[in-house]
Structures are given as structure tokens and as C-alpha cells.
Structure 1
């Protein structure tokens, strides 16, 4: 081990001061050195504790495992084949269980060590602690799942849009039973709160409470409250001054010791309860009751208010349509409702920053269809026009502070439809050259600093294909997005369209790092992400759906997808579509 000792003398300062854990093994796979950061990270008392121990034996102590976002631990570099470790670096991520029973997430980069004669001396393992970012991304993943469940619930509004609901209960409708539960689940996950209750008021002097949805309480307590819906007035829960504050549309915060209730509240860890008014037509129609252990931050308070706004806007929209049952109007209303739902789903998140903000923004965009409905109904129903106006006004105000997003939820929704075999294509004859050119021009305008070249003959005959034009554009968008994301800024991106005897092919080439041969087939699989990509290193939660969707969409068109790449030589993604019968003949 003389060579390793000499190398360590030269690197001792960096080795000792590195904030990342470093473990060095010899060619036999035995540990020779650990730096202080490695000892602290792995909760070891001293370097002598595991010196000369096989590296794999040490790792086995920590039960390395997959944790949803990561591949399973790969010990290929520490496996000795003929007493010679692998000759190239590798990177993998793992969840390790510490002696304290806490879990950490680490990126492990394993690099061969060689002397001046390129003789292998051992392997250096660099441990980078990713635990904080990992936990943050897990929270985002849970929020994404919750918001998608909510969206699916909203997509079924039309199934009960004409269901009757008692007029004295402004907030409660059959649709809101489903949507309300998703809302309370979403708040519970986002705010990590012990209890969330969505409650409506009966339009009676007593203001009796009706429980729409409850999250966080034991099933027995939920059942007791729902069975008691409509039995207890607001005065059983709040003091007169608190009721007056709520009627002034102000949030009421009650300490646990002062919270009145005909029900037991021992089943929740909440130390205080927030009563957030839900205002419809300038009247308090219900409340969100949120149990808290710690006071809300400013950001959390904004989120709570946004949930309340979302709840009332959805309720206004559903009840607005439910009130009009005129056979002459029902067809128009149902048609426009379905258009609203479809637009809401298609204009879903692109970057998915704050889930609730995205949802509100997309509802605003979808409900623009109401303006069209208002113009079509002009002169037929003045009351409907006024109702639409009441919905549009707060949405237009909310839209000033929101952005339009498309990709992430769009991918999830498409995937959900694919899994349920419900994704439909709207096929018509189209010129493939023109479809691709439209997408390329969009990216040229969007990225003026990038060199995006389109190689087609503008005077050539159209390449006619029978396709869903929007889906073909979607695949081209994904190819170009990947090319821009993974290729150097100064390098050109080239798009070509070529016509064959029976097929036409679109190629998107960039000068990125290339794709390893073992990954080239796997990248088309659902949720797969190649090791070592920027997306994985950043713990990106785009769920690895983009290329999978490309493959599925093109195969629905009876076409094929593929990639040609060598590491360090860029990559060319392509898709092939059959020519229309007229073109091929």
C-alpha cells in the first residue's frame, strides 16, 4: 500500500478538509482511509474501526436500498474481478440506514485510482449527502400526487352537474363531496397538519354545520361528525364575537383549550384551530377548519387562502350550471362544460412550482370558455350571464399573479389515459414537413440565442401522413426540449424531415454528451432515467415520462421511435410515420 500512502500525503489537506465523505479502498476491496466527513456521515467513531474491512461489508451494514426516485445500490466498482477493480468512474445514489436508525440519501461517485504508470491502486468513493434535497423532493412528489388526484376529481364534475342540491346549503353539492375530500387531503399533505375539515352552513338562522370532507381524524371520529351533519349550529363551536368575526369574512384562530365542540377533540394533536371563511356571493357559505401545531408561516397562510378561493370558485361554477335545466340550454351548457374540462386538463402544469397556484391558473384559463358561452347565450338568459360574470371576475383577478404551465401534469394525464386505454387520437391528413416546421419556428422564436436549423426543401411536395397533428407536434416538442436541455449552448441543433418509399422520418440531432449503449433502449421505458444525467443528479421529479410518451404516441400512429448515439458524439432522436395511402401510392 506504499503507493496509496504516497498519494494520500499529496492529497491529505484536501482529503481532510473535504465536506463530502471520502473512502479509499485498495485493489483487494479493503478500506484503507476514511476522512472526517465520512466518519461523521456514517456515524463511525474512528478510522481504525473499519480500516482493512472490505468496503462491501461496510456498505452492507447500512442496508443500501432503492427509495422510489433512485436505482438500487450498485456495487460494481467494489467488486473485484481478477483482483482488478473497474477502470471507469461510476455514479449511483442510495438510501443508507445509519446506526441511529435515521436514513440518509447519498450520491456515491466511485473513481479508480492509478499511479503514473496507469497501474490501478484502488478506488476512491465520494459520498455527497443529498438528504435535505431528497426530502424536499419527496414532499413535492406527494403534493404532485395529491394535486393530480384533485384534477381527476374535477374532471368528473360533469357526471353530476345536473344533480339537485338543497338551495339552503349553498356550498354543498354532490360534486363537492368528491372534490372536497381531495381538497382536504391536499391541504393535509402540503401543510402537514393534524386535521382538516370542510364544512358548509345551512341557510337557516341557526347556521347548522354540514360536514363535506374530513382529513386527518380517525375513521370513527369522521363517521360521528358526518352522522351529525345538520344537527349542531355554529354557536356550539364558536363564541358570539368569533362568529361575528367570521361573518366579517375574517379568519378566526382558536386555541385548543378554548375551542368549543360537541365532539371529542382528543384524537388530534392540534394545539389551535383556524376557521377560514368560504365566501360565495358575498356571504359566508362555509369554513375550512385547519388544526395546527405550530403557527402558520406567511406562505402557508397564502396557500390556505388560495385553497378557500379555489373551493368557492369551483362551487360557483358547478352550481351555476346546475341551476339551468332548460332543455334548450342543456345541450349548449353540457358541450361547453366538457370543453372547459378538456381545456383545463390540456393546459396543466409545465414546471409545477406551487401546486395550488398552478391549479388556480389553469382553472382561469379553462374557464375562459365561459366568455364564449356568455356571448352565445346573450339575450337568452340574463341571469346566466350575470352568474358567469360573477365567476369570471375573481378568476381574471387571480390570473394576474399566475403563470401558464403545461408539461408535467400534461404528461401525467396522458400517461393516465394511456394506462386506462382511453387516450384518443384525432386523425386527419397533414403535411409532416409543415407540422415540424411550425414547431421549429416556435423554438427559434423562444430560444433566439440557440442555433436551431431546419433542413427541408420548401419547394418540395408535401409529405402527407394520416396523424393527430397535435400529438406529432408534441413528440417534436419533446425531442427539441431534450436537445436544448442537454446540448451545449454554442452547438447547433439540426432538424431534418426525410421521405422514404413507404415512410417519412423526422430527425433531431444535437451535440450533447451522448447516451450510453446500455441506456438507449431503456430510455423509452416508463419512469426510466439514465444514470448520470443532469435530471437524476438534481433529483428531478418529471417522472421519466417524456420519451415513454413519445414512443406510445408514435406507436399509436403505427410508427417507430429510436435514437442513434455514441458517448461524446451527440445524439439523434428520430421517429418514423407511415405515409398516407395516397402519398405511398
Structure 2
């Protein structure tokens, strides 16, 4: 039984339960109605039989030998059973002595097996079994019994018609309730079917689907809302996992590329140093001046290696998010110092400082690292532009931000180059020779981006091929950071 119930759909169980309850209620009400009607009609006959019995006893007590039982005045209104009769029994065989009316009905009551000693009315069937009678026995002198009876055909007919009426009404009620129950159950469970369909779609991989929003005051509405919240959390978890996996793959790829590029960058000066050292060791260079030049080249490559290692260590520290110094830094004075240093080593280049905001322009951060940001941007502009290109450092202010822009009038960058320019060891053109005659490490702009990010800022590049290139650094001002 439990297995059958477990396999039965909820909609079927609900409809069957409702129909069972309604059918039981209709049956009980119908049975009670029919029983009450039968008892009422039979009671009315019993009361009239009792009245006639009292008259018979009074006449017998007065010594009358022939009974006359008039029909009650209210019989036509209150009793619809005028076929009353009188039976006088002279012996134990209960043979009929006389009757009122004298002509017996077609199916008189069968009194031979009846218990005439009863004091109240009782029911017997007719001699031919086609009719029922309600009879009352009155004791008479000489062991006689006077039996007064009334036919129950009208009672049975009325009750029968009531039974059919109750049956038809009950069936109509059950049918109506069945239709309403099926409609209501289907309408109530339709959202569950929609949730089931949504679940199947989600199981197929579409986490963007949601169950329909219903009134949260209903059980199905609360279920749908809880279901949607669960799917949102699952979707967020999947998105976070996908993002984490993508980040991990990207980080792994960047690390492999970083290690490969770093190894390549370190191998070049090491190879040069090794070659010059072997030349010096084998005595290939005998002239003291040539030997001094050889040693100078070894020193240049060693310095280049030292710069590369320092840049790598700086990026590693920034990646570890080690705390930086937190001091007020005036960007106007800082940019002026940086440009003075470049004027000393690049006198032939056009370098300018444009301050478009009232001094001072103060930010909170590490002065040494911010100096390195401006220096790297200026060095990048000098390295990748011709001697006739102009380089301008412009300082301005935005609401809550200090803006540092380094603009050059060089050949510019393409869209793809601008997209990757802040990546480590990226070179817009690895084959070209810098105007300074030196090759960079490909870490300068990556260091700029890392330092600016560590200061809660952003760095941007605006450039088109053949036009000016502008690197823009946005840093929160001291007032903005103190307000946070």
C-alpha cells in the first residue's frame, strides 16, 4: 500500500482525498435526511394510530360490542393513509371476525406471525409481500385483539423519491466538486511543474533560468523564491569557480611566460659577460685600452642585470602586497625633480612640465615608488620616440583625484599594442632598436601599473598610430583618502 501511495502523483492523491471527503459528507447528510424524513412520516402515522387505539379502548371499556372508529377530522390534512381497518380475533388462530371497512385491501397485513402483545405501533408486511403496514394492537375482552393498521405505501413512495433526489443531488455535487478539484489542483500545482521544467533546463547547464515569481504568501510562492535564491547562489558559486579557474590559468600562463622572459632577459647579459670574460682570460685582447673597454662592457651588462633583478624583486614585493610607506607626497615637486634629472642626461630632448592646477597637488603614498612611476613613464617616452619628439608631463586635478599625464609626440601605439602595453616583458616592437641605443627590460610599464594599483589608483593609455601617446595616472588625493 505504501508503495502504491508512493508511486501515485500528488495531484491524483489530492483529488481522490477531496472526492472521498465530499462523497462521505454527502452520503452522511443524505442518509441522515432520508432517515429523518422516514422517522417523521412514520411518527405522524404512529400518533394517529395511537389516537384511534385510545378510542377503541374507551368503546370497549363502555361495553360496546361493535366498534365504530370514525376517521379523525384532520386526517385529510395530516394523514394521507385513509385505509384503516379493524380486525377482531376470537381465538388463537387469529381468524378475522369483522373489519372496517368490510372490504379488505388487496394486500392486507400478515398478522399470523406478528407479536400482538406489543404495546406500541410496529411494522409488518402484507400477506402477498407487496405492501408494508404500520399496525397497533389493542387487547379486547375474551383474548380478542383489535388491530388498527395504516398502509406505508405513501411513506415508502415519498422516502423513495427523496432517496433518488438525494442521490442525484449528491452525484451532482460530487461531479461538480471533482471538476473544481481537478482544476484547482492543476492550477495550484502548475507552478511546481514549471519549477520541474526549470530544474531540467538548469540540470542541462543553463543556470540563468528562474522559476516564475509567485505570491510569497503561498507555499508554492515561498518554494519558488527559495528555489530561485538557491539557483542564484549556485550560479554565483559556478561563476566564482569559473573566474577562479580562469584566473588560475591566466596566472599560471603569466608565470610561465614571466619565467621564460626573465630567463631570456638574464641569459643575454650573462652570455655577453661570459664571452667577454673568456676573451680576456685567453689573452685575445692585449692592448690595455681594448682590455679596459672590454671590462667596461662587462660592467655595463652587470649593471643591466642588476637593474633587471631589482625590477623583478620590486614586482615580486608588489605582488605580495607588502605595505608601502604612507606619507604626504607633493606631485608637483616630485615631477619637477624627475624632469631635472632627465634634463641632465638627455639635454638634447624636449622635456616640459605643465601644471594645470594650483600647487601643491598632494597624495598619500610612497614617495620613492611614485617617483619611479613618473620616471618610468618619462623614460619609456624617451626610449620609444625620436629625438625630435616632445615629451610633456602634465599635472591636473579631478574631483577627489590627482592626474599625472605623460604625453609624447612619437609614432603612437596600435589598439592591440595599447591593450597589452602594461603586461610584463611586453614590447610593442621587439625587433626595433631604441633611439637611445639601449634595450629595455619590458618591465617599466608593468612596474608603473603595479605601483599605481598599490596606491588605489588606475593607469590608462590613449594612443593612435601616427599620433601622440598619453599615459594617464589617476591617484586619490590626500583629502579623498582621509575621507574614506
The TM tier, using the shorter chain, reads 0.3 to 0.5
Name the TM-score, length of structure 1 as normaliser. Answer: 0.32
Larger % of strand: which? 1
Bigger RCO of structures 1 and 2 (CA < 8 A, at least 6 apart): 2
Instruction: Indicate the structure (1 or 2) with the bigger Cα radius of gyration.
Output: 2
Larger % of helix: which? 2
